[in-house]
Amino acid sequence: MLELRPNCECCDRDLPPDSVDARICTFECTFCVDCAETHLEGACPNCGGELLQRPRRPAAKLVNNPASTERVLKPEGCVNAR
């Protein structure tokens, strides 16, 4: 099951579970659409995988399967990611 991480690893922007602006790779590294397109050119800086729109979990399913609250942040941000 996807963790649905709560923020962009580069800019720390909040990405709630229903966000259409969240992008993830196959390892669930999570970025906002702005960082993914502008700084990362659609590729994960951690694994090189493709960044795609993260699926949204229906609100009713979040009750028993909540999103992660653990924030992951790259200290250097996205500027030097590629």
pLDDT digits (tens, 9 = 90+) for 2-55: 999 999 999 999 999 999 999 999 999 999 999 999 999 999 999 999 999 999
User: Sorting pLDDT into bands at 50, 70 and 90, what band is 80?
Assistant: low
Q: What is the pTM of this model?
A: 0.91
pLDDT reported for residue 21: 98
Indicate whether 12 belongs to any domain: no
Domain count, the chain: 1
Cα-based torsion angle of the residue sequence 31, 36, 38, 43 in order, rounded to the nearest 10 degrees: 140
Indicate whether 36 belongs to any domain: yes
Task: Give me the mean pLDDT over the 57-63 stretch.
Answer: 95
Indicate whether 80 belongs to any domain: no
Note down the domain range covering 55: 22-62
Q: Say if residue 79's pLDDT is above 90.
A: no
Indicate whether 6 belongs to any domain: no
Indicate whether 2 belongs to any domain: no
How far apart are alpha carbons 57 and 69 in whole angstroms?
15
